[in-house]
Amino acid sequence: MPSLRNILLAAASAALVAAKSAQVNVYYGQRGNDDLGAVCSTGVDYVTLAFVDVSPENGGSSGYPGDNFADHCYAGYYPGSSLLYDCPPITNNWQVCKEKGVKLLLSVGGVFSSGSNYTLSSDANAIDFANFLWYAFGPYDPAHSEVRPFDIGDSHFFVDGFDLDIEEKFANQGPWNTFVAQLRTNFAGGDFLITAAPQCPYSDSSFEMTDILAGSKFDLIWIQFYNNPVCDGINGGFNFDRWITYLDGTPNSKTPLFIGLPASVNASGSADCRQP
Ligand SMILES: *[C@@H]1O[C@H](CO)[C@@H](O)[C@H](O)[C@H]1NC(C)=O
Ligand SMILES: *[C@@H]1O[C@H](CO)[C@@H](O)[C@H](O)[C@H]1NC(C)=O
């Protein structure tokens, strides 16, 4: 069977022939207050919860990271932090995702700003951040899990992995490689994933995840072919082949690639993929 990468390559050069075995990931959390279980019932393969957007070093007196799931959470924050715990649309029916075999991922990053500041200034901070996320959102471990934002009583919510959507070009990206390595250490060879969502621009100043993609092996990469007319799916600059060439020289030469498109018809660079 051809690899997913080959299928998508073929699709890219053959007018998007629907590939039966192609997989679908959707980002979830920033629009509306839709129910996670319902999203997992739509036939998708992955749902990526977005976003953990504040690193612990910017997270206030608690030392916790912060997150933002728009209307999926109410204003319940752990003291001294912007870490949410009251998120019924996420926590009510998440078990449906497990029953259907849909992998849940937790995305770190998103739009970078003073209120969504995920700088990592050292390897030690990167390790602490990775450990916090693992024990808070990974499989329940009574020895370490002091904070479990999405647990309801004995119902221990857990993700199947983590995603990096870094949208700021940090001068030193080394701590992010340390972050990924620490998550892998925590996975201990178990069935968990680390994915990446680079934006499509391929110029130095806008290619934010350069050293992260060159320094860490990811299990899946979904390139954002939107929001950037220079390289999006509809304005003539679609640069998928450039990505293949680039990744061939990195630890991600064999990583399956997904074509990231916006699901909203009004987003910049969106493509109307509806069947006639
Ligand atoms: C993010 O936080 C760091 C300190 O941790 C600060 O130096 C930087 O200016 C902040 N960035 C933004 C965009 O606020
Ligand atoms: C898209 O934009 C049009 C024109 O502004 C608006 O009428 C429509 O409701 C928007 N659709 C969505 C899904 O946001």
CA–CA distance, 176 with 191 (Å, rounded to integer): 21
Give the confidence band of 42 by pLDDT, cuts at 50, 70, 90. Answer: very high
Q: Which of 99, 167, 168, 208 is catalytic?
A: 167
CA–CA distance, 56 with 160 (Å, rounded to integer): 22
CA–CA distance, 236 with 249 (Å, rounded to integer): 25
Examine the pLDDT at 44 and tell me if it is beyond 90: yes
Helix (H, G, I), strand (E, B) or coil at 180: helix
Residue 58 phi/psi, 5-degree rounding, is -110, 10
Distance 209 CA to ligand 1 centre (A): 18
The answer to whether the Cα torsion of 66, 67, 71, 77 is positive or negative is negative
Measured from the Cα of 266, ligand 2's closest atom is 1
Q: What is the predicted pLDDT for the residue at 48?
A: 97
Where is 246: in which H helix or E strand? helix 240-248
Q: What is the predicted pLDDT for the residue at 17?
A: 37
18-27 average pLDDT score = 75
Q: What is the predicted pLDDT for the residue at 268?
A: 64
Give 61-82 pLDDT, tens digit per residue. 999 999 999 999 999 999 999 9
Query: Mean pLDDT over all residues of the chain?
Result: 89
Domain limits, the chain:
7-261
Q: What is the predicted pLDDT for the residue at 206?
A: 86
Please give the CATH topology (third level) of the domain spanning 7-261.
TIM Barrel (3.20.20)
Examine the pLDDT at 55 and tell me if it is beyond 90: yes
Examine the pLDDT at 24 and tell me if it is beyond 70: yes
